[in-house]
Amino acid sequence: MNVKVEVEHILGATIVIVILSFVILWNQPQPSFNYTVGQCGASNYQHEFSIEVKSHDLVVHHVLPYVCCADITVRVDQYDHEINFFEVNTGDVCRCICVYNVSATVSNLDPGTYTVRIFGVEYEDQKAKLLYNSSVSIPI
């Protein structure tokens, strides 16, 4: 009878450990993404890039000279330790140029070294071109 009681205690403890492990893993923050694109401004015709690490967040900023009638959105693709930002024109094209301030943040990244690439601008059948390629480290 003592063996049966011990087996029940071990089985019960194992179930509790499995449930707690699942709850802990389920509550881990998952990477997330957001972006902003400012209004069309005066053009200096130069791309400018900055990348900033804030804790476990990666903040990318791009001063993008592009056509005035564009509607710029950002898509991010993350594979392991590679993060690719794609600027996409979902609007029109026209004959004037202005500057867009594009900012994007990927949050809750695991510690490690990441390759960061910025591609711009994808429009209909025009593929995005690689504009920026660098590595950054997310601290522990």
pLDDT tens column, 114-129: 999 999 899 988 899 9
- The full set of domain ranges for the chain reads 1-30, 32-138
Total residue count of the chain as it appears in this document: 140
Question: 3-class DSSP state for residue 133?
Answer: strand
Q: How confident is the model at residue 138 (pLDDT cuts 50, 70, 90)?
A: very high
H-only helix segments in 27-131? none
pLDDT tens column, 45-70: 678 899 999 999 999 999 989 888 89
Q: How confident is the model at residue 33 (pLDDT cuts 50, 70, 90)?
A: confident
